[in-house]
Structure 1
Amino acid sequence: MSDSSKPRHPKGLSVLFFTEMWERFGYYLMLGILLLYLKDPKGGFGYDNREASDIVGTYLGLVYLTPFIGGLMADKVLGYRKSVILGGLMMSAGYFMLAIPQTEAFWPAVLLLVVGNGFFKPNISTLLGNLYDAPTNRSLKDNGYNIFYMSINVGAFICNFVAAYMRNAYGWGYAFAAAGIGMLIGTAWFMAGDRHIRYADVMKPANPEDMPVKRVVWLVILPMLVAGVLGWFIPGTIFGSDSTDAFITACIPVIGFYVHLLVRSNKEDKSRIAALLSIFAVVIVFWAVFKQNSSALTNFAETYTDRQISPPAADAVRPFGMVQELSARPDSFPAHDRYFRQLKDASGEKVMTVSPHPYFQNLPKEKWPEPASKVQLVSTEIFQSVNPFFIIILTPLVISFFSFLRKRNAEPSTPAKIGWGLLITGLSTSIMAMAIYSTDITMEKSSAWWLIASYGVITIGELFLSPIGLSLVSKVAPPRLTSLLMGGWFLATSIGNKLSGVLASMWDSYNDKANFFWVNFAACMLAGLVIFLMIKWLRSIIQRHT
């Protein structure tokens, strides 16, 4: 075979790689500090852990719910390139609005991020799949998605160092502005590489059996908005908070749309859609556990993990934004150096009190710094870079492992990989339970190695599941519904993300904190078992259409 006839990755891959890298830089920068910002009473909102976790989970849920709308609009109206550019500009504006130190700007900024991501996320993945539709490179599609997935983690690894440096040196607003600049760079790169991706922006012809866009708006999108509003204003709460009630009720019309899509599809498409929807339903559990890195695990790193480093080590890593300095005794320092927090008095009213930073509340007092000095800590958000670091390191190893098995005709099927991914994810939560058993976290700090080890194991589970899922949708979905079903993948991600916040908000209700992680462990094991029970049926459908 001549070199010219060998399969090659398309030039557009590098365009999409760096666009996604910068988009994920902004996304994970904001996400890495969001819980800390919401809980910080000095420069943020001063919410307690339950309120902050609920907001993070709601944001994570909404940001992956809107790809349903963005995928539909791209499939039927805008096309994929225009949708990506529109989404990138909206998200950049949202990050810059977060940099404004005013409470009133926060929610409009979140709205721009949520809607912008809906236009950006499903359509850049669809463009990537379309680049590999040519017979000359179709065999490289899985590898293409793995390379693309690396871009996500390059951006996610770098961003937390930038976030830590900016917020420690200048304040929260500068960190959010850095996310906006990253998003602008990514959008400009995408536009500059237009000639390499233009041919992949092909809108599929409509099928007479498809629901028209206007009907989708009237029967799905508007009911979704109305249901969300009604869920918010339901007297009391059904699922623990107004935001959770609103989110769950808003999802009902969207889920109904996918059920309608399945019921009304022709015989050829029905098996494809049924297989994908079954997988979507099960991987909700993965996202519910995995996305706790932004809530429960961030809280664990902030409050329960030993982050102290020696002064020489602190001086060495300080230029990389990794050092956070804290004073322990609020009565020994001026007001600007004290930690204020909101507590409820006997009547239920919130009052401001001065106390040590939460880091000191389970640290033996003999380890507190002297009144005239400060303790040197690794910044909490740096732990958010552990997972993308492991992905960068482990992705080539996982790809090589599957290649090794493929040569021996022993490679697991795609559904089996997803099942194993869920089981491995469950093992990562058991490591956190062991971390709690290793020490009394109400009186002492847990070693940071437990958290790092947990991230390492969950990364393997992620590599078995997440990039494979994107590739699977691209290959199995009926061509005219690719972006719409990509939106379905993100809908499952959305529901799982919201559940991650719901689960994390329950942290304080567990007397034995290890049980929090055992609940996650049981959920992953059950979901993995369900996949393996369906594996024969799923494998037959996937093999028939790939």
Structure 2
Amino acid sequence: MPSNRKHPAALPYLFLSEMWERFGFYLLLGILWLFLVDTEKGGWGMDNAKAVDIYGTYLAFVYLTPFVGGLLADRVLGYGKSIIIGGILMGIGYIGLAVHNEIVFYLSLALLCLGNGLFKPNISTLLGNTYNKPEFKANKDAGYNIFYFGINIGAFICNFFAAYLRNSIGWGAAFIAAGIGMFLGVIIFVLGKKHYKEADVLKPTQPTDMPMSQILSQVFIPALVAGVIGWIIPGTILGSDSTDAFLFACIPIIYFFVNLLRKAAPAEKPPLKALLTVFAVSALFWSVFKQNGSALTTWAQYYTDREIPAAIEGPVSSLKLAQTVTNTEKEVTVYDKEFRVVKDADGKPVKEIGLDPYFKNLQAEKMPPKDASISLVNTELFQSINPFFVLTLTPLVVGFFALLRRRGKEPSTPSKIAYGLLISALSTFMMIAAVYYCHNGEIKASPWWLVGCYGVITLGELFLSPMGLSLVSKLSPPRITALMMGGWFLSISMGNKLSGVLATLWDKYDNKANYFLVNFALLGIAALGIFLMLRWLNRIFKEYSH
């Protein structure tokens, strides 16, 4: 009997599974840099350069492993098993971060990278497969937008949990909450298995496909060896050992995709060329977008007025979403004083003595009297601005495209991606204006500058990110859809690592406006490139989309 459904029954289960997975993922991203630089409440007390390097490296590897996870799902495990195994590994990894031991810390990050590799590309692929029935195919873009909506419910609420738990209990409680959220996502996924059983089918390999043994010997092992070489070579080529190791390790994987294109059947080559081109351009978008947890968190922490108005200070403070800082110096002239750092017997920083860093560039009229305290909203709560805009703007964007579709004027998926890059480039001007408004950090900037920046780039994100997932689903040869989804995440991975590299340069820019101008240039180049290729991309999309 024909169904009147516009979307498959699997959608709410995949929606909720991904929502809870992203709850943990973005909870960690919201506090990771803060945890790494914290010296007073059980953090690692690292300097900014090392902290953003670890942040960028984690982001890079957590999006690099989907290449492996997509391949294993396509060839060996299937999508369902991969998602369940990946979710369990991530749940263990989050809880492991609560153990304050350096070895356990890095092992936990490794588990998160491996688990994400198995989970992330395959749940996106499985969603696309459920839309392959004729009655659902026309709504695939809308399905990915709804799916993206679920992602951002998790991303929005997680920072409130993180702020409350780390203020009232400690860092470890926040990490454990991320693990619990991940296990909830796995349970929901298992409960809905019957709705996507037909979509969870291994695709037959082709005679030209590289066998797993050859992939191991020609891709995985060379990537590992190249990464080790990048780590141990004397000095650094690209700023840090971890950056060198990551980019060296990417070379065999990039070669694999080039070789995949070279050996593809003639009918498969045009869509694969289009996908690889979009992957390359999208990396520049992610290099800017993923600075929300590094450079933009630094801006929120030190350059943004985070004081809570007296009218709402009580409720927010009682919910433990705020921190209290006390002015221990009477004279405002101590803004530029150096802070003396107390270290323990092992040389680990434990406390800064002197005026709280928040007061260094606070306007004189806002400086509290000596020994008086003010309440500041937790920095990670600014990370909820982006998902808030996703939640509020997604219905508008979906409705806008639905209106255009009814009129026969809906842009193609590649066109949406191009417009997304252009809109995202414009977001950087909000931060350039903020720099000039606060005299390059001499005084605190209004939080509305960050709100505006996140609002504009989120609109660009909604045009680009879910459309990228949809594009992979529509253009990939069915036998390697998960593998190509892994390629999409590889482009995100390289962009994420570049975001970390860019963030390490923050302190080297005396004029912070120039830092954001570099971001504009990167996004501008990406937008220009894809607009120049748009006619070609649209032709391939029209001919090969399925």
TM-score, structure 2 as length reference: 0.94
Q: Structure 1, residues 383-421: CA drift from partner, whole Å, max 9, x if none?
A: 000000001000111112222223333322222211111
The answer as to 2:188 corresponding to 1:189 is yes
**Displacement of 1:7:** 4.5
- Structure 1 residue 290, shift from structure 2 partner: 0.4
Q: Hey, what's the Cα distance between the residues in 2 that align with 1:350 and 1:307?
A: 25
> Contact between 2:329 and 2:371, CA under 8 Å: does it hold in 1?
no
* Structure 1 CA distance for aligned equivalents of residues 349 and 317 of structure 2: 36
In structure 1, C-alpha distance between the alignment counterparts of 2:87 and 2:370, rounded to whole Å: 47
1:23 CA drift (Å): 0.2
* Correspondence 1:35 to 2:33: yes
Aligned to 2:174: 175
Cα distance between partner residues in 1 of 2:496 and 2:196: 31
Q: How does 1:347-386 map to 2 (within 5 A)?
A: 354-364=353-363, 367-386=366-385
Structure 2 Cα separation of the partners of residues 121 and 87 of structure 1: 8
Tell me whether 56-65 or 305-314 shows the greater mean CA deviation.
Answer: 305-314
Partner of 1:535: 534
Deviation for aligned residue 1:4 = 4.2
Partner of 2:334: none
Counterpart position of 2:251: 252
1:451 is the counterpart of 2:471? no
Task: Identify the residue that residue 103 of structure 1 maps to in structure 2.
Answer: 102
CA contact (8 A) 2:414 2:471 kept: no
Segment drifting more, 357-366 vs 441-450:
357-366
Give the letter for the 2:91 counterpart: S
Q: Would you say the 8 A contact 2:45–2:349 is kept in 1? A: no
The residue that corresponds to 2:290 in the other structure is 291
CA distance in 2, matches of 1:321, 1:57: 29
Kindly provide the CA deviation profile for residues 433-469 of structure 1, in whole angstroms up to 9, marking residues without a partner as x. 0001112243210000000000000010000100001
Q: How much does 1:232 deviate?
A: 0.7
Q: Give runs of aligned pairs for residues 43-442 of structure 1, distance below 5 A.
A: 43-329=42-328, 354-364=353-363, 367-442=366-441
Which secondary structure does the structure 2 equivalent of 1:444 belong to?
coil
In 2 relative to 1, CA 193–319 (structure 1 residues): closer, same or farther, beyond 3 Å? farther
Gaps in structure 2 of 5+ consecutive residues:
331-337
Residues in 1 aligned to 2:327 and 2:200: alpha-carbon distance in whole angstroms: 57
For these two proteins, the number of residue pairs brought into alignment is 535
Q: CA contact under 8 A between 2:435 and 2:441: conserved in structure 1?
A: no
In the aligned structure 1, how far is the partner of 2:202 from the partner of 2:430? 46
Structure-2 separation of matches of 1:145 and 1:364: 45
In the alignment, residue 157 of structure 1 is paired with which amino acid? Answer: F
Residue 142 of structure 1 and its aligned partner are, at CA, apart by 1.3
Whether the aligned pair in 1 keeps the contact of 2:165 and 2:173 (CA below 8 Å) is yes
Is 1:526 the equivalent of 2:525? yes
Match of 1:9 in 2: 7
User: In the aligned structure 2, how far is the partner of 1:320 from the partner of 1:525?
Assistant: 42
What letter matches 1:437 in structure 2?
Y
Distance 1:354 1:251 in 2: 43
Counterparts of 1:343 and 1:245, CA distance in 2:
33
The DSSP-based 3-state class of the residue aligned with 2:375 is strand
Between the aligned partners of 1:496 and 1:343, the Cα distance in structure 2 is: 37
Q: 1:358 to 1:318 in 2, by over 3 A?
A: same
For residue 430 of structure 1, report the CA deviation from its aligned partner. 1.0
Q: CA deviation at 1:253?
A: 0.5
Q: Which moved more, 1:14-23 or 1:414-423?
A: 414-423
Question: Does the 8 A contact of 1:46 with 1:341 survive in 2?
Answer: no
CA contact (8 A) 1:330 1:354 kept: no
For each residue in 1:102-141, what CA deviation from the matched residue of structure 2 results, as whole angstroms up to 9, or x when unmatched?
2332101100001110000011111101111112212221
CA distance in 1, matches of 2:280, 2:535: 17
**CA separation of 1:357 and 1:140: change in aligned 2, threshold 3 A:** same
Deviation of residue 6 (structure 1)? 3.3
Measured in 1, the distance between the counterparts of 2:21 and 2:475 equals: 27
* SS across alignment from 1:443: coil
Percent of pairs with identical residues = 56
Q: Is contact 2:440-2:513 (8 Å) kept?
A: no
Equivalent residue for 1:484?
A: 483
Looking at structure 1, the residues matched to 466 and 501 of structure 2 have their Cα atoms a distance apart, in angstroms, of: 25
Structure 1: 4+ residue segments shifted above 4 A = 339-344, 348-353
How much does 1:328 deviate? 3.0
Counterpart of 1:39 in structure 2: which amino acid?
V
- Compared CA separation, residues 90 and 340, structure 1 to 2 (3 A): farther
Alignment-derived partner of residue 469 in structure 1 = 468
SS in 2 for 1:137: helix
The aligned residue for residue 335 of structure 1 is: none
Secondary structure at the counterpart of residue 375 of structure 1: strand
**Residue identity matched to 2:119:** F
Residues 509-540 of structure 1, C-alpha deviation per residue, up to 9 Å, x if partnerless?
Answer: 00111000011111111110100111111111
| CA-CA distance at 1:80 after TM superposition | 0.7
Structure 2 SS opposite 1:99 = coil
User: What is the SS of the residue equivalent to 1:412?
Assistant: coil
For 1:275, the aligned partner's letter is A
1:261-287 residue CA offsets vs partner (Å, 9 max, x unmatched)? 011111100111100000000010110
Question: d(CA) in 1 for partners of 2:360 and 2:455?
Answer: 28
Aligned partners of 2:392, 2:105: CA distance in 1, in Å? 36
**Are the counterparts in 2 of residues 80 and 127 from structure 1 also a CA contact under 8 Å?**
yes
Retained in 2: the 8 A contact 1:46–1:342? no
How far is 1:11 from its partner?
1.3
**1: distance between equivalents of 2:164 and 2:306?**
16
What secondary structure is seen at the aligned counterpart in 1 of 2:323? strand
Quote the Cα distance in structure 2 between the aligned partners of 1:462 and 1:343.
43
